[in-house]
Structures are given as structure tokens and as C-alpha cells.
């Protein structure tokens, strides 16, 4: 639980830093335009729920799944990979990337199930 709280706090600090200091937004190998577009496509509340499920034992709600699917897979993959690459998390990166893909698949399926025909 302490590790999950640290991850969520780190994510919030990262988003605030990115918003306030654009030069911190990307590493040299990340396309700045994609990063900037992705950060603003999802609410902070849903971002925390998604991060909680990928990096801990949280559960993503259906409304947050809809936001995630609307954000797009490329953005989801980019943001989770960025967090998973942190030195304190890199040892479990493959586990987190698997969970990232599971969250995506779940959200796509529930979004399709509740979408109007």
C-alpha cells in the first residue's frame, strides 16, 4: 500500500510538473506533441484509478474506462511506459506492461458493452 501511495503521489507530482514546466514533460526520445496531447485527454481522477490498477490493486470504473478508450491506446501505452521506466519500478516493468494491456483490453470490452448502438 505504501508503494502504491508513492506511485500515485509520484504521478500527481509528474503531471503537475509537466503542466507547470513544459521542458520537464518529455525525455529526449519521446515525441513532445504526443506527450502533451495525452496528458490532457484524461481526468486526474481517472488517471489515478488507472495507475492504481496497473501498479497496484485498484479497480478502474466504467466511466474511467470510457475516458481511457477515448484517450487512445497509444497515449495509454506511452504514459504507463513512462511511469514504469522510473528507476524504482523498472525491475517489475514487464509485470506493469502486462497489467497495462489487461486494463486496456478490459476497458475496451466494457466500453463496447455500454456504448449506444
In angstroms, the Cα distances linking 90 to 11, 55, 94, 95, 96 are 15, 12, 8, 10, 9
The structure's pTM equals 0.70
pLDDT of residue 40: 83
- pLDDT tens-place string over residues 61-95: 999 999 999 999 998 998 888 888 889 988 999 99
- pLDDT tens-place string over residues 5-19: 555 555 554 554 444
- pLDDT tens-place string over residues 23-50: 344 455 555 666 677 878 889 899 899 9
Amino acid at each position: 500500500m505504501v508503494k502504491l501511495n508513492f506511485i500515485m503521489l509520484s504521478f500527481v507530482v509528474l503531471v503537475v510538473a509537466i503542466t507547470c514546466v513544459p521542458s520537464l514533460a518529455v525525455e529526449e526520445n519521446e515525441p513532445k506533441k504526443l506527450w502533451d496531447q495525452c496528458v490532457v485527454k484524461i481526468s486526474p481522477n481517472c488517471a489515478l484509478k488507472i495507475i492504481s490498477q496497473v501498479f497496484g490493486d485498484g479497480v478502474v470504473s466504467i466511466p474511467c474506462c470510457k475516458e481511457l478508450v477515448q484517450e487512445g491506446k497509444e497515449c495509454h501505452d506511452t504514459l504507463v511506459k513512462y511511469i514504469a521506466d522510473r528507476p524504482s519500478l523498472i525491475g517489475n516493468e514487464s509485470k506493469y506492461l502486462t497489467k497495462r494491456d489487461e486494463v486496456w483490453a478490459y476497458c475496451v470490452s466494457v466500453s463496447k458493452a455500454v456504448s449506444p448502438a
